[in-house]
Amino acid sequence: MAENYAEVLMEFARAEEIDRTFTYRIPEELKDLLEVGMRVRVPFGRGNRTKEGYIISFTNSIDFPPSKIKFIYSIIDDFPVFTPAALDLAYYMQDRYGTTLAAALDIMLPPGSKGNKIALNRKKTNYIKLIKPKEEVIDYMTSIKNNKTLKNQYNILTILLDIGEAPINELMEELQITRSSFNSLSKKGITKIYTKLEEYKAKKDFAITETGYLLNREQEDALDMLNKSFNKKTHETFLLHGITGSGKTEIFLQFIENIVDEGYQAIVLVPEISLTPQTVGRFRRRFGNKVGITHSRLSPRERMDQWVLAKEGKISIMIGPRSAVFTPFKNLKAIVIDEEHETTYKSDTTPKYQTKEVAKFRMEQENGLLLLASATPDLESYYKASVDEYKLLELTSRVYDRPLPQIEFVDMRLELTTGNKYVFSSKLHEEIQKTIDKNEQVMLFLNRRGHSTFVSCRSCGYAIKCDHCNITMTYHLGRNKLMCHYCGMGKENPNTCPSCKSKFIRYFGDGTQKVEEQARVFFPNANIARMDMDTTRNNKHETILKNFKDGKIDILVGTQMIAKGHDFPNVTLVGIMAADNMLYMQDFRASERTFQLITQVTGRAGRGEKPGKVLIQTYDPDHYCLQIAAKQDYLAFYNEEIELRKQMKYPPFSHIFSVLITSDKEDEVIRWANRLMEYYKFYNKEKDFELYGPIPAAISKIADIYRWRIIIKSSDRKRLNNYGLYCIDKLRELDKPSTIAIQSDIDPVMLY
């Protein structure tokens, strides 16, 4: 290495003022070891505290005397954790989303890597082995055989007598025991615990048990287009629009098979964890141990293992939610984004990246193919396909020519006139009973968890709100508590009104818990389960979905977790409990989200050989969105909605820059929000930008933090982003506000 200095970016550089490189001298002993993209330990600040940084470049050009430049202390890893392509991606994210370079790089590292060495190929595993002669071990086992408190030790020794040694973690998982029994045996001198370095490998072997299915003509045409594009080895983006049950996943599988057979790699993204087990299962049956998985409910160690397997090329396919887009494959040639319309592909934490854009940039880098897929594409995506920015692939029929489900509306206004105040209409009640009598399955969808969405006084109208958020609290039956779904605060359910002391406290608004409760009353012989955020902690969603697939559950009640991507052939009835409860949200995308959810939910019925039926309960059955969704006519909805977007200058005909000003002092939020708006008005002399606000956010207080918002629109994304950030920087530079926080987002998908 000819250069004597390294430009190092500090990993904690979240603030703009330190999001830059610092120059460090390279010690002689490190000159032949350092590479761009490596992590190093360096002295930082006046106290020379040891900090972690990333080498961005090398140089011989310095502005200070060499004697004043500090030396790098040491290397953290033996290899560059960031390739040149990863650094380019971080620069792209910094420019496109206004984030810091350090924040963009940090999310590419696996959890648990901060300050810890990442060892490629090798990992430390704690093993236990027998050190006493076999006869002495048997004598000890005989002496403790009937001792219940030493049962775990007995079971450990039984296994070790058979295999000699074993990884402790595997034994703990197999026997469902803690570490203490292993320690006790070692203290007695019967066994020894030691550390062994071994190669990373898949947690267990997965046999290939499935081959590709015969495709219909539309599927063949779509696959042919993808393969021709891949063979050209140039970047293209495809939008695969296929109705529910049209066999989109089979196209992914066969397309990726061609990629893997040629020695390349692919990433498959799903919108949420509940879809991961089913997707992983299908891919592992087809590709075995070539498939990796990553998501937030894995432990940091498990995610680190998957990262290393990908880095070393030990796997060829990574499946996971949006963070999997950063998988460090060296020969990446395809990224598939399933259910591409989902809002979870837009990060709501810094850096606020759009996964589809990051994936497109990666594929442009690698001359690879990006495949977006959905039965209800995002309107902006379909618009890009209509103007040939994306290539459109269409699947208009279900596999095996299975019919779409029969769809009926139930007008809940009429139910009220007959005195029915239950969540089930008489028609839905009747159809559920028929379905379970035939040993078929039912899915009931309601996109609100809890028992009752608010509690109110019938006497004075007082609605019980969270003490810390400007939102009504949700009643949860099992805990007999009111819960805030934003800050998590709980409070006792009052017997009298906190305002007028009346006893007329009533529950309003239905949640999944109430649906489950009433279903158990109406259908006492049915096996019923609920799948929402309250029931799926600790990966319980996998158990629920497996039990449903195995026929152990007759009725599955759930939120949007059950609405998309799942394929259960015995589901012949789907009930949508409150179809219109999202139509009137304060969001220009409300109709689109409602259409997408209803279309996706109805698509769960009749996916097998038995015909399906869907009942849609609503108070507004004539709304165009519901009527078109019932017909699964995406194009009709698109044509209606895109015209409204064009008239109102909403995306895709403009871009939105959102500013959120927050503080624990309401008057400070209002003062500084108005002051910031003054900057926006001052620097908008040519009236190039449309300004809205400042106004309270849709939820004006969360966890005692007041929230105000400014919205800016423009057709020029880059100028809008620069303008939005510039005015925030000017406020910080000139006025130095200390009592507020400011967050910004370009092209947000949610405004609340």
Token pair for residue 405?
């489900």
Are 315 and 202 in contact by the 8 Å Cβ rule? The answer is yes
Give the closest residue to 576 by CA, choosing from 525, 635, 510, 634: 510
- pLDDT of the residue at 65: 86
* 333-342, 594-603, 719-728: range with lowest mean pLDDT: 594-603
Winning range, highest mean pLDDT, from 544-553, 572-581, 724-733:
724-733
Alpha carbon distance 593, 585 (integer Å) = 10
Q: Which CATH number describes the domain made up of 217-400?
A: 3.40.50.300
Fold of 5-83: GIY-YIG endonuclease (3.40.1440)
Kindly tell me if the per-residue pLDDT of 219 is higher than 90: yes
Q: Which residue has the higher pLDDT, 176 or 711?
A: 711
Q: How confident is the model at residue 388 (pLDDT cuts 50, 70, 90)?
A: very high
Task: Show Cβ contacts of residue 525 under 8 Å, excluding neighbours closer than 6 positions.
Answer: 436
Give the whole-number percent of the chain exceeding pLDDT 90: 51
Max CA pair span of the chain: 92
Instruction: Show the 3-state SS of 390-439.
Output: CEEEEECCCHHHCCCCEEEEEEHHHHHHCCCCCCCCHHHHHHHHHHHHCC
Q: Which residue has the higher pLDDT, 471 or 138?
A: 138
Residue 435, CB-side half-sphere exposure with 13 Å CA sphere: 32
Would you say the pTM of this structure is higher than 0.85? no
β partners of residue 39: 54
Alpha carbon distance 698, 721 (integer Å) = 23
Task: Look up the CATH architecture of domain 655-746.
Answer: 2-Layer Sandwich (3.30)
How many residues can be counted in the chain? 752
Are 605 and 569 in contact by the 8 Å Cβ rule? The answer is no
Are 99 and 351 in contact by the 8 Å Cβ rule? The answer is yes
- pLDDT of the residue at 16: 62
- pLDDT of the residue at 209: 84
Give the closest residue to 436 by CA, choosing from 545, 323, 553: 553
The DSSP secondary-structure symbol of 658 reads E
Amino acid code (one letter) for 693: G
User: 640-675, pLDDT tens digit by residue?
Assistant: 999 999 999 999 999 999 999 999 999 999 999 999
Q: Where are the domains of the chain?
A: 5-83, 122-199, 217-400, 406-450+511-644, 655-746
Give the closest residue to 745 by CA, choosing from 699, 711, 714: 711
The DSSP secondary-structure symbol of 393 reads E
Average pLDDT over residues 573-593: 81
- pLDDT of the residue at 669: 95
User: 256-306, pLDDT tens digit by residue?
Assistant: 999 999 999 999 999 887 677 778 888 999 999 999 999 888 888 889 889
- pLDDT of the residue at 108: 95
- pLDDT of the residue at 264: 97
Q: How confident is the model at residue 454 (pLDDT cuts 50, 70, 90)?
A: low
Provide the mean pLDDT of the chain: 88
User: 307-334, pLDDT tens digit by residue?
Assistant: 999 999 999 999 999 999 999 999 999 9
Q: How confident is the model at residue 507 (pLDDT cuts 50, 70, 90)?
A: low
Average pLDDT over residues 471-477: 71
Give the closest residue to 744 by CA, choosing from 723, 725, 718, 717: 725
- pLDDT of the residue at 715: 95
* 99-108, 171-180, 213-222, 355-364: range with lowest mean pLDDT: 171-180
The DSSP secondary-structure symbol of 599 reads H
- pLDDT of the residue at 204: 67
- The DSSP H or E segment spanning 259 is helix 248-261
User: 49-91, pLDDT tens digit by residue?
Assistant: 999 999 999 999 888 888 889 999 999 998 999 999 999 999 9
The DSSP secondary-structure symbol of 205 reads -
Q: Which residue has the higher pLDDT, 725 or 1?
A: 725
Q: How confident is the model at residue 5 (pLDDT cuts 50, 70, 90)?
A: very high
Choose which CATH entry (3.40.50.300, 3.30.1490.20, 3.40.50.1000, 3.60.20.10) describes domain 406-450+511-644: 3.40.50.300
- pLDDT of the residue at 436: 93
Give yes or no on whether 406-450+511-644 and 655-746 have one common fold: no
